[in-house]
Amino acid sequence: MDISPYFAELINAKDHVVVPSLGKFYQKRSAGYYDEGTETFYPPSTKIDFTTEYRHDDKLVQLISQRNNTSLTSAYAILDEYVKDLKTILKSQTVHINNIGELTLDGEKLTLQSDTKSENSKDFFGLTPIDAKALNLSDAEAENYSLAQQALNTAMPNEFDEHKSITLKIVLVFVIAAIIGSLIAVYYLNPNFYQNLYQQLKKETVSEKPVTVNQTPSAQAIQKADSVYNNADIEAKLKAKGFEVEEAKDSTAVSVNQKQIPKKSDIRYEIIIGLYLKKSDALKRVTQLKANGINAYIVEDADGPMIKISGATLYNEAEANQELKRIREQLNPEAFIKPIKPLK
């Protein structure tokens, strides 16, 4: 299903659209400028740009759900399939998105060539470039025009800021005076207050005598160490008397496989198996799932208005897709992957 028309709709309404697992399309504004080569004044303009840095939101999913009269879970599945297909096509060719531009994959970097004819790209805000050579001003008009430009370009003093600064100074003076007056009043009402406070602080700052730790090994420890070192002598004596002796295993040869801990900067892939409007309903569902041996939990840092229940957390996209396939077959056919990218 092609959901790209929803991109332009959200950009037109919100100035941006976030496509989870892909990036953000947004309106980039440029200031007006003067081209000396063509002697032309160009007004401010906008164009659609793209970035992989974004904050997650569910606006696109909600719009897909409304337009197709389907559940949010199904809308997430539609979005997931679209992004997968788009990434596959980008590996071999450029993709043109209507009213957005051409999206290209260069190595591992996605770039957008904005569509200058886009209805969303409100170039020049309805204004047209002005050719300075076509003005043909008379000498008097040119002089007046120059004076007007100088008047517009002169930075006027901000009287409001100056008044605000004076008011702030007056308030600070009153605050300082009030604090000094309060300290004086406390002294006259209770002359011993400051003396008692000084004594209390003096007691708290008295340094304690440092505690020394005796690091000399005890006789029991030495005896235990000796028994370890003399194991060979003991075994020889027992063997000489006819006993069968099994050699003690070296505990230092035991190896432990360390579990790899993912970096905090890695993208986390949550397998969402349930969506609820109320947290109380989500907690009841989590309790039911755990009672059936499923380690489900609420994703606290997921965006959007819905409370999301996850059935698994992974830090590798390929492993997440494999787990999603299993969960859809065995638990919930409408489960989907929710990528969560930590904020920098």
CATH class of this structure's domain 268-340: alpha beta
Task: List pLDDT tens digits, range 45-101.
Answer: 788 999 988 887 888 988 998 889 988 888 888 888 898 899 899 989 999 998 889
Question: In this structure, are residues 20 and 81 in contact, taking their beta carbons and an 8 Å threshold?
Answer: no
Which pLDDT does position 202 carry in this prediction? Answer: 72
| Residue boundaries of the structural domains of the chain | 4-133, 268-340
What span, in angstroms and rounded, lies between the C-alpha atoms of 286 and 65? 25
Task: List pLDDT tens digits, range 134-185.
Answer: 665 555 554 544 444 544 444 444 445 566 678 888 988 889 988 998 888 8
At residue 325, φ and ψ (nearest 5 deg) are: -60, -45
Give the residue from 97, 100, 98 showing the smallest Cα distance to 89: 97
Q: What is the pTM of this model?
A: 0.42
N residues, the chain: 344
> What tokens appear for 222 in the block?
């030495």
- Residue 141's Cβ-count burial label (10 Å; 0-12, 13-18, 19+) is exposed
Cross-strand partners of 338 = 270
What span, in angstroms and rounded, lies between the C-alpha atoms of 338 and 184? 62
> What is 59-83 written as a DSSP string?
HHHHHHHHHHT--HHHHHHHHHHHH
